[in-house]
Structure 1
Amino acid sequence: MSVWQPAWFQTAQSSGGWLVVHSGQAFLTAGADVLFASDDPRVQGFAGERHGLGQWQAQPVTLLELDTPPDIEGCVWQPLRPLMLQSPHALFKLLGYANQIGTWARQHRFCGQCGTRTFALDGQRGLKCPNCQLTQYPRLSPSMIALITRGDEVLLARSPRFAPGVFSTLAGFVEPGESAEACVHREIMEEVGVSVTNLRYQGSQNWPYPHSLMLGYHVDYLSGDIRCQPDEIEDARWFHLRELPTLPPAFSISRFLIDRYRVERLGGAEPVLPD
């Protein structure tokens, strides 16, 4: 089985290997393939910024970031979410990393302090301004994701952005000056109008939408009736563990939180949160 081996310091000028072509928030795909040989004539002549991503099948993988997505016969541009559902976990991790690096590089081509064109540093993942010396590194946004439980019931919700029928745990970004635990209480109250207690940290997962570090919690329901936040939550309900709706992918931390509690209450094999 292929395993992606990240190497953020790897040079992007390695000869041979694989090429991942990215533009905006979409990847170039040919059928089921999203990795192209570097000498593939369909991608060989593209001009864009290149960033080393690591190793795949013992070959270097390079991200090619394009300003605009050209039309290529036999190829389709796809965003990351549908690719997530059809890709092995190791490949999804590679694509998620590529999506984050491509987005970061595109958004920091010019210095945010003086507006000068930045350049990539050798030996590290950084973009430096030659004028004021400001260096920009990729940054992650901490966010909480929490499973709310009440006996054999779990409170799940769906966003308008979800695939049809999918319900998930609640999530939200940590605000400046806020702890992760305070974020859990605030986001749950804002999104579904209930109070919770007994917060237990369960694990973390990098989530490339667009650059989150998800901090997973299991919390107990305390009080309140469900009240969905307009524009954020289109539906939220209590579900019995034996009658759950369509859930997120098996390798997501949301699914891990749900499956772990289901095993705790009903028995079964302990789920594993993928690295």
Structure 2
Amino acid sequence: MPPSRFRPGLSRPNAPPGEVAWFAFHGDELLVRAVGGNDRFDVPIAADLADLGLRVVRAQPLGELDGRSCRSAELAPGSPAPAGHAYVSLRRLHGRIDPELFDLAGTAYQVQHWDRAHQYCAACGAELETGLDERVKRCARCASSYFPRITPATIVLVEDGPRILMTRQARFPAGMYGLVAGFVEPGETLEGCVAREVHEETGVDIGDIAYFGSQPWPFPHQIMVGFTARYAGGELRVDTRELEDARWFHRDALPTLPPPLSIARKLIDAWLARPAR
């Protein structure tokens, strides 16, 4: 894997004037500028977003990308996109922006979400101060600290020979199925979460749980931890409180799959790349 071009940091580097890459959000959408003629995008570069006629509610440093200062920003509600720019959701940006910028946009979204949500202390109500040495909000009155919230969730590909267990939620696009996923509960291991979620949602028991990989999922602040597992017994029954449907699908007859940006798709593609058993 090539080294990342991004260097996280809180202090603003000595970049030339006008060399700030802005990851500015209007609600849940990122401000981008069109480049080229193939529906490609970049982020705006400006010393100050006021130069583009935009009002920033609050901003946070992110670090450096290719030696250029990067900052996240929350834009004032109702701010129109400047000429040549547009507001685009992160999901729609996948594959249409430099992959390093896409990853950094996810980081920026989580940072600005945390910044917006932590203005006052939940313990005593005092205004919070931003830490200078680490990403934290601190209360000078009662010494409470508020770090960015990261919510762990697991997702698992359950295989049984040439078939895998797939699930569908009502909010999915027509015909699309995904994998069993769920949030980790207090006191629970990641593997325990995997087994519990599969049994609760489908009635299936699993074994041979193995780590696959992880993915930041900034919608708004999850990290998805992927696993593989093997069917170990149990009859399929669908928890209709959580799912619309759950089925076993043969590798030669899969439904519409999750989008390529998701770890669910990476799990499925890796399984398909292995020889059929």
Alpha-carbon separation, structure 2, partners of 1:103 and 1:95 = 12
Alpha-carbon separation, structure 1, partners of 2:189 and 2:13 = 37
SS at match of 1:77: strand
Q: 1:211–1:78: structure 2 CA closer, same or farther, 3 Å change rule?
A: same
* 1:30 CA drift (Å): 4.0
- Is 1:199 aligned to residue 202 of structure 2? no
- 2:145 — aligned with what? 135
- 1:54 — aligned with what? 63
- 2:220 — aligned with what? 210
- TM-score for both structures, normalised by structure 1: 0.85
* 1:183 CA drift (Å): 0.8
* 1:119 CA drift (Å): 1.9
* Deviations 1:84-111 (CA, angstroms, capped at 9, x unpaired): 3544432221111011111111111111
- TM-score for both structures, normalised by structure 2: 0.84
**Equivalent residues of 1:155, 1:237 under 8 A apart:** yes
* 1:51 CA drift (Å): 1.0
- 1:35 — aligned with what? 43
- 2:105 — aligned with what? 95
- Is 1:240 aligned to residue 254 of structure 2? no
Please, which moves more after superposition, 245-254 or 97-106?
A: 245-254
- 2:12 — aligned with what? 11
Superposition RMSD in Å: 2.7
Alpha-carbon separation, structure 1, partners of 2:232 and 2:7 = 42
* 1:2 CA drift (Å): 11
Q: Give the number of aligned pairs.
A: 267
- 1:68 — aligned with what? 77
Unpaired runs of 5+ in structure 1? 268-275
* 1:45 CA drift (Å): 4.5
Unpaired runs of 5+ in structure 2? 35-39
Alpha-carbon separation, structure 2, partners of 1:164 and 1:60 = 42
* Deviations 1:142-183 (CA, angstroms, capped at 9, x unpaired): 211100111000111232333443322211110011111111
SS at match of 2:248: strand
* Deviations 1:1-28 (CA, angstroms, capped at 9, x unpaired): 9965041424399643211211332222
Alpha-carbon separation, structure 1, partners of 2:51 and 2:241 = 41
**One-letter identity of the residue aligned with 2:171:** R
**One-letter identity of the residue aligned with 1:7:** P
**Equivalent residues of 2:41, 2:97 under 8 A apart:** no
Alpha-carbon separation, structure 2, partners of 1:107 and 1:185 = 33
**Equivalent residues of 1:69, 1:77 under 8 A apart:** no
* Deviations 1:180-202 (CA, angstroms, capped at 9, x unpaired): 11111111122222221221122
Alpha-carbon separation, structure 2, partners of 1:33 and 1:151 = 42
- 2:23 — aligned with what? 20
Q: 1:111–1:101: structure 2 CA closer, same or farther, 3 Å change rule?
A: same
Alpha-carbon separation, structure 1, partners of 2:42 and 2:120 = 29
Q: 1:257–1:112: structure 2 CA closer, same or farther, 3 Å change rule?
A: same
SS at match of 1:37: coil
- 1:171 — aligned with what? 181
* 1:73 CA drift (Å): 5.2
Percent identity at matched positions? 32
* 1:225 CA drift (Å): 3.4
